[in-house]
């Protein structure tokens, strides 16, 4: 439809002898202004030296004598908008289009043939899976699913810090506890608190600090049998635990990358480019002189000879590409990495320029809780599991609703900004929330299943509806029509909030419709309203699936 109207406008502009400009066709804020609107007249007004309204009338007049099929009216509004109103017949046809397309409604081909890799979550073994990881996972999974709608081949990647100081800190404490083997009843929670204790010791106790640095080296070169044993056990426990969380959250990774591999290779890369890209710094460290490029100078190899985060990330870019020659690589991390990532991309561009341009860093903000609430006994860390459990009690024990509430709270705002996560608000379970969407869908499904049982037997309605035009109200149908464009925009901008905003508008419109009109047992109107309900349910289903928000059957 959009294409048809756009082409027609261009055609008319040409016939009027007006200069060709990029024509914008928008969804107006209010359906009172039609289904589509354009501002060409205002944009052209000055160029041509005519009043925008007059110009708009001129163009509209032309359009009226040559309407695209499905457009019922063209109106001009001050100060020069041209608005397009669609016919009831066309709007009714949207309903059957949605039902015919089903799960495929909203897909497009804009990225067919592209290989895209998306890295997110990135929890560290030997540490807790905290709410920051939950946030990264939620956003990354939504990105992945959105990008898949464009026909791209998407691979999900998880990058995990299985070596480094945090590991050494945890092991330091485990060793001090004289842990013999895995028969000891320790799990992830204890690993988490071992890290906290080790961390504290590192900062407060010089002896411990030295021991931890020593352990760190031994983890890298695997020279100590006792440490190896603790290490292998801890790594396994952590990774197995993470899998249970991914399952809950609806993520399945294609690739796992570990710092133990990227560190080796990244360190090598840095050494090879010493003197070219990198320089010697203080205490034998190897640095990247970021100041040359008005960035920070960063250490890539520390004075112990071990690769830092930056060197590892450098190696990772290449390792990823070797495994999966990508067209685009998206990396989702917290925004405290922003400055480092700029340095990293600069260094990468000097070594592998082609990879640097293919890499896109998308950060997310921090998940903060209103102070005082929800602090864990072991420190300030709030684990994902604790949050989910807390949410669950508020969601009448329904885990799908709990996860939906949390995910929606994260996805409703633009990524990159901090989120003040007010538990009470996210789980008020009403209004602008995940459960609100879930409820609208569950309710629609309940009506539909009742329709199947008692009323009509030929669902789904994927054929034409007899004389539906008089039952068309317009708002729901126009929203249904917008869905594919909303998805495309959210995909292109990696902006899931467009989709959450849209779905909330759709659910709200549906709930109003539900309150106002009878769907079942409404005579001929039912013949239209049942498929309409089905189309709404289909779009809610498709949209929630794209956001990886669980869809409960009952709630």
Q: Does the footprint of RNA cover residue 518 (CB under 7 A)?
A: yes
Q: Does the footprint of RNA cover residue 514 (CB under 7 A)?
A: yes
Instruction: Name residues contacting RNA, limited to 178-217 (CB under 7 A).
Output: none
Q: Which of 487, 495, 535, 549 binds RNA (CB under 7 A)?
A: 495
Instruction: Name residues contacting RNA, limited to 434-463 (CB under 7 A).
Output: 435-436, 439, 442-443, 446-447, 450
Whole-number Cα distances in Å, 383 to 245, 353, 376 = 11, 38, 8
The whole-angstrom separation of Cα 540 and Cα 402 is 18
* 3-state DSSP of 392-424: HHHCCCCHHHHHHHHHHHHHCCCCCCCEECCHH
Pairing of strands 359-364, 328-334: parallel
Q: Does the footprint of RNA cover residue 99 (CB under 7 A)?
A: no
Minimum CB distance to RNA smaller for 422 or for 462: 422
User: Judged by CB under 7 A, which stretch of 7-15, 144-152, 182-190, 408-416 contacts RNA?
Assistant: 408-416
Minimum CB distance to RNA smaller for 115 or for 541: 541
Q: Which DSSP string corresponds to 210-240? A: HHHHHHHHHHHHT--HHHHHHHHHHHHHHHH
Q: Does the footprint of RNA cover residue 283 (CB under 7 A)?
A: yes
Minimum CB distance to RNA smaller for 161 or for 468: 161
User: Judged by CB under 7 A, which stretch of 101-109, 393-401, 459-467, 476-484 contacts RNA?
Assistant: 393-401
Q: Which of 68, 140, 161, 267 binds RNA (CB under 7 A)?
A: 161
User: Judged by CB under 7 A, which stretch of 100-108, 236-244, 299-307, 384-392 contacts RNA?
Assistant: 299-307
Q: Does the footprint of RNA cover residue 520 (CB under 7 A)?
A: yes
The whole-angstrom separation of Cα 125 and Cα 535 is 44
User: Judged by CB under 7 A, which stretch of 4-12, 293-301, 323-331, 353-361 contacts RNA?
Assistant: 293-301
Nearest distance from C-beta of residue 83 to RNA, angstroms? 5
Instruction: Name residues contacting RNA, limited to 309-348 (CB under 7 A).
Output: 309, 312, 335-340
Nearest distance from C-beta of residue 27 to RNA, angstroms? 5
Contact 323, 115 (CB under 8 A): no
Exposed, middle or buried, 113 (CB in 10 Å: 0-12/13-18/19+)? exposed
Q: Which of 239, 285, 374, 475 binds RNA (CB under 7 A)?
A: 285
β-strand partners of 19: none
Q: Which of 228, 252, 430, 464 binds RNA (CB under 7 A)?
A: 430
Q: Does the footprint of RNA cover residue 57 (CB under 7 A)?
A: no
What DSSP designation does 189 have? Answer: H
Name which of 335, 331, 496 is nearest 418 in CA terms: 335
The whole-angstrom separation of Cα 43 and Cα 83 is 15
Q: Which of 93, 137, 150, 302 binds RNA (CB under 7 A)?
A: 302
Q: Does the footprint of RNA cover residue 165 (CB under 7 A)?
A: yes
Whole-number Cα distances in Å, 458 to 403, 453, 461, 463, 530 = 35, 10, 7, 10, 11
Name which of 450, 427, 437, 451 is nearest 547 in CA terms: 437
Instruction: Name residues contacting RNA, limited to 226-245 (CB under 7 A).
Output: none
Helix (H) or strand (E) holding 82: strand 81-86
Q: Which of 21, 418, 463, 474 binds RNA (CB under 7 A)?
A: 418
Name which of 350, 383, 507 is nearest 442 in CA terms: 507
Q: Which of 45, 198, 468, 531 binds RNA (CB under 7 A)?
A: 45
Residues 6+ away with beta carbon under 8 Å from 35: 27, 28, 84, 85, 86, 478, 481
Q: Does the footprint of RNA cover residue 162 (CB under 7 A)?
A: no
Rg (CA), the chain: 28
Whole-number Cα distances in Å, 21 to 9, 38, 47 = 11, 12, 11
Exposed, middle or buried, 397 (CB in 10 Å: 0-12/13-18/19+)? exposed
Q: Does the footprint of RNA cover residue 308 (CB under 7 A)?
A: yes
Q: Does the footprint of RNA cover residue 142 (CB under 7 A)?
A: no
Q: How many residues line the site for RNA (CB under 7 A)?
A: 96
Q: Does the footprint of RNA cover residue 504 (CB under 7 A)?
A: yes
Q: Does the footprint of RNA cover residue 219 (CB under 7 A)?
A: no
Minimum CB distance to RNA smaller for 150 or for 526: 526
Q: Which of 132, 281, 484, 550 binds RNA (CB under 7 A)?
A: 281
Draw the binding track, 114-133, toward RNA (x: CB under 7 A; -: no contact).
----------x---------
Minimum CB distance to RNA smaller for 350 or for 551: 551
């Amino acid at each position: 439809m959009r294409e048809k109207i756009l082409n027609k406008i261009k055609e008319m502009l040409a016939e009027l002898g007006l200069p060709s400009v990029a024509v914008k066709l928008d969804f107006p804020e209010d359906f009172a202004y039609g289904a589509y609107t354009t501002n060409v007249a205002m944009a052209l007004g000055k160029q041509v030296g005519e009043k925008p309204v007059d110009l708009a009338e001129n163009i509209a007049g032309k359009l009226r004598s040559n309407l695209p099929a499905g457009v019922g009216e063209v109106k001009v509004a001050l100060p020069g908008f041209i608005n397009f109103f669609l016919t009831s017949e066309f709007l009714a046809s949207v309903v059957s289009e949605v039902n015919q397309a089903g799960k495929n409604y909203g897909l497009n081909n804009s990225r067919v043939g592209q290989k895209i890799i998306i890295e997110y979550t990135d929890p560290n073994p030997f540490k807790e899976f905290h709410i920051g990881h939950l946030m990264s996972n939620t956003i990354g999974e939504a990105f992945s699913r959105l990008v898949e709608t464009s026909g791209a081949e998407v691979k999900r990647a998880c990058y995990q810090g299985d070596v480094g100081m945090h590991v050494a800190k945890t092991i330091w404490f485990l060793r001090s506890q004289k842990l013999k083997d895995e028969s000891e009843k320790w799990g992830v929670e204890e690993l988490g608190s071992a890290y906290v204790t080790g961390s504290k010791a590192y900062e407060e106790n010089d002896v411990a600090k030295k021991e931890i640095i020593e352990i760190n080296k031994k983890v890298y070169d695997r020279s100590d049998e006792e440490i190896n044993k603790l290490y292998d056990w801890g790594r396994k426990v952590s990774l197995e635990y993470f899998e249970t969380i991914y399952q809950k959250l609806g993520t399945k990774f294609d690739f796992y990358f570990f710092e133990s591999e990227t560190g080796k290779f990244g360190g090598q890369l840095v050494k090879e480019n010493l003197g070219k890209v990198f320089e010697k710094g203080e205490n034998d460290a190897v640095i990247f002189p970021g100041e040359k490029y008005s960035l920070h100078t960063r250490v890539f190899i520390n004075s112990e000879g071990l690769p830092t985060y930056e060197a590892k990330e450098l190696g990772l870019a290449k390792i990823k590409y070797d495994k999966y020659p990508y067209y685009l690589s998206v990396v989702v991390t917290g925004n405290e990495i922003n400055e480092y990532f700029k340095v990293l991309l600069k260094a990468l561009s000097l070594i592998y320029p082609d990879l640097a341009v293919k890499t896109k860093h998308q950060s997310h903000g921090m998940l903060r809780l209103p102070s005082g609430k929800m602090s864990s006994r072991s420190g300030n860390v709030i684990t994902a599991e604790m949050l989910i459990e807390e949410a669950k009690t508020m969601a009448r024990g329904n885990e799908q609703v709990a996860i939906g509430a949390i995910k929606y709270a994260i996805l409703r705002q633009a990524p990159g900004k901090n989120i003040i996560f007010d538990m009470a608000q996210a789980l008020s379970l009403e209004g602008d929330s995940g459960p609100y969407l879930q409820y609208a869908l569950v309710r629609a499904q309940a009506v539909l299943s009742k329709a199947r049982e008692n009323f009509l037997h030929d669902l789904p309605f994927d054929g034409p509806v007899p004389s539906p035009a008089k039952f068309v109200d317009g708002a729901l149908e126009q929203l249904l029509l917008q869905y594919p464009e909303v998805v495309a925009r959210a995909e292109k901008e990696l902006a899931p909030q467009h989709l959450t905003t849209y779905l909330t508008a759709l659910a709200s419109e549906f709930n109003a419709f539900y309150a106002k009109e009878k769907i079942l047992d409404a005579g001929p109107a039912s013949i239209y309203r049942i498929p309409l309900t089905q189309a709404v349910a289909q779009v809610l289903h498709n949209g929630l699936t794209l956001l990886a928000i669980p869809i409960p059957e009952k709630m």
